[in-house]
Amino acid sequence: MTSFGLAVIGAGYWGPNLIRNAMATPELRVEWLCDLDEGRARAVLGHYSTVRATDSYERVLADPAVQAVAIATPAGTHAALVRAALEAGKHVLVEKPLTPTYAEGERLVALAAEKRLTLMLDHTFCYTPAVRKIRELIRSGEVGEVRFVDSVRINLGLVQPDVDVLWDLAPHDLSILDFVLPPDVRPVAVAAHASDPIGAGRPCLAYLTLWLSSGAMAHVHVNWLSPTKIRTYVIGGSRRTIVWDDVNPAQRVSVYDRGVDLTAADPDTRRAALISYRTGDVVVPALPEREALRGVMSEFAAAIKEGRAPLTDGESGLRVLALLEAAGQSIDNDGKRIELGGGFGQ
């Protein structure tokens, strides 16, 4: 089997997960773990690893055994690191968010296209069995028309030094939304409210409202200050409603045949007659237990090999940036509704 030489950049919170999963992926050959603090990289590798640690990104990019890099550094460094990698001819897997601004992200996507290199976003949740199943349920029509989406992602989280809660957590919710919605249903406007009740200097909790092209509404609640961990994603459909509870491993995804229907549109009929309630069974589909990052790594390797766009490509990263930027703009304008451009960019 051909394998690609990979360097992981960043030995902080997420890097160790990337390197562990990369090492378990036969199509990848891990060459380096690079961190500004070489000692931290060594500590992550431990005493028994043949992977090399370094603090020199230049050395990594100069190594012809390296065909690809996986970047897990603070968001503010992404633009420069991705650009350097692409210019050195390396394929790139990068943590979300792609960059702190849409404009920077757009330039990277263009550069990758020009260089015919893979630029992939680590939208990890899109590779969970739960999200794969949800996408399948929606795109197969089983859910019917999407009527509402409600996502809650709250926990006692690390107050990040460089990003607010919106840029830290909402990329998960937004990339999942991007991934599971039917291709013809897209966000058209955003409003957001945020609060910093501890004086951290940046929002620690935020609420986003998204209007979709279908007329439906999606809502996201992200919060770093909650003492309980809740990760619930509800997708209400005209035929079924999906509830994904990610902290309940015994029953992550439930598909409810319950809902409210308008059974007729006859304006002469009395309203009460028009509404009916379904209270059918709930089905909990069996899902494999599989680490999502394993799927990220396989997809990265496969996209490189096949020269095709990965499932979570640079464009998906840009769509998330467009939403984040618009949300930030709304926060700065008292929750004003911000329309998204055709390409969601401006």
User: What does the alpha-carbon distance between residue 233 and residue 23 come to, in Å, rounded to a whole number?
Assistant: 31
Binding residue for its own copies, selected from 38, 104, 150, 291, defined by CB under 8 A: 150
Q: 152 to 211, contacts with its own copies by CB under 8 A?
A: 152, 154, 156, 159, 161, 191, 193, 195, 197-201, 204-205, 207, 209
State in angstroms the smallest separation of the CB of 297 from its own copies: 14
Binding residue for its own copies, selected from 17, 115, 148, 298, defined by CB under 8 A: 148
Taking Cα atoms as reference points, which of 167, 190, 32 lies closest to residue 105? 167
Q: How many CB atoms lie within 10 A of CB 151?
A: 23
Q: Do the beta carbons of residue 230 and residue 156 sit within 8 Å?
A: no
State in angstroms the smallest separation of the CB of 217 from its own copies: 4
Q: 45 to 64, contacts with its own copies by CB under 8 A?
A: 46-51
Position 256 contacts its own copies (CB under 8 A)? yes
- When the beta carbons of 229 and 308 are compared against its own copies, the nearer one is 229
Distances in Å between the Cα of 24 and the Cα atoms of 4, 28, 129, 281 are: 13, 8, 18, 40
State in angstroms the smallest separation of the CB of 220 from its own copies: 10
Q: Do the beta carbons of residue 31 and residue 66 sit within 8 Å?
A: yes
The identity of residue 190, as a single letter, is: V
- When the beta carbons of 121 and 220 are compared against its own copies, the nearer one is 220
State in angstroms the smallest separation of the CB of 302 from its own copies: 19
State in angstroms the smallest separation of the CB of 126 from its own copies: 23
Of the listed pieces 44-52, 69-77, 103-111, 314-322, which binds its own copies according to CB under 8 A? 44-52
Longest CA–CA span in the chain (Å) reads: 78
Binding residue for its own copies, selected from 89, 215, 341, 343, defined by CB under 8 A: 215
State in angstroms the smallest separation of the CB of 246 from its own copies: 13
- When the beta carbons of 58 and 162 are compared against its own copies, the nearer one is 162
SS3 236: strand
Q: 64 to 103, contacts with its own copies by CB under 8 A?
A: none
User: What does the alpha-carbon distance between residue 208 and residue 167 come to, in Å, rounded to a whole number?
Assistant: 12
Number of residues that bind its own copies (CB under 8 A): 75
- 165-180 and 129-139 helices cross at what angle (nearest 10)? 50
Can you read off the two tokens belonging to residue 206? 């935020």
Q: What are phi and psi of 267, to 5 degrees?
A: -70, -15
State in angstroms the smallest separation of the CB of 289 from its own copies: 10
Of the listed pieces 135-143, 178-186, 225-233, 301-309, which binds its own copies according to CB under 8 A? 225-233
State in angstroms the smallest separation of the CB of 114 from its own copies: 34
| Bridge partners of residue 205, in order along the sequence | 195, 223
- When the beta carbons of 103 and 247 are compared against its own copies, the nearer one is 247
Q: Do the beta carbons of residue 253 and residue 242 sit within 8 Å?
A: yes
User: What does the alpha-carbon distance between residue 17 and residue 123 come to, in Å, rounded to a whole number?
Assistant: 14
- When the beta carbons of 80 and 156 are compared against its own copies, the nearer one is 156
Q: 280 to 319, contacts with its own copies by CB under 8 A?
A: 280-286
Binding residue for its own copies, selected from 30, 44, 60, 120, defined by CB under 8 A: 30
Binding residue for its own copies, selected from 24, 62, 80, 273, defined by CB under 8 A: 24
User: What does the alpha-carbon distance between residue 115 and residue 108 come to, in Å, rounded to a whole number?
Assistant: 10
Taking Cα atoms as reference points, which of 102, 84, 54, 77 lies closest to residue 324? 102
State in angstroms the smallest separation of the CB of 215 from its own copies: 7
Place of tokens 């590798």: 45
Q: Do the beta carbons of residue 47 and residue 322 sit within 8 Å?
A: no
Binding residue for its own copies, selected from 67, 99, 241, 316, defined by CB under 8 A: 241
User: What does the alpha-carbon distance between residue 21 and residue 292 come to, in Å, rounded to a whole number?
Assistant: 9
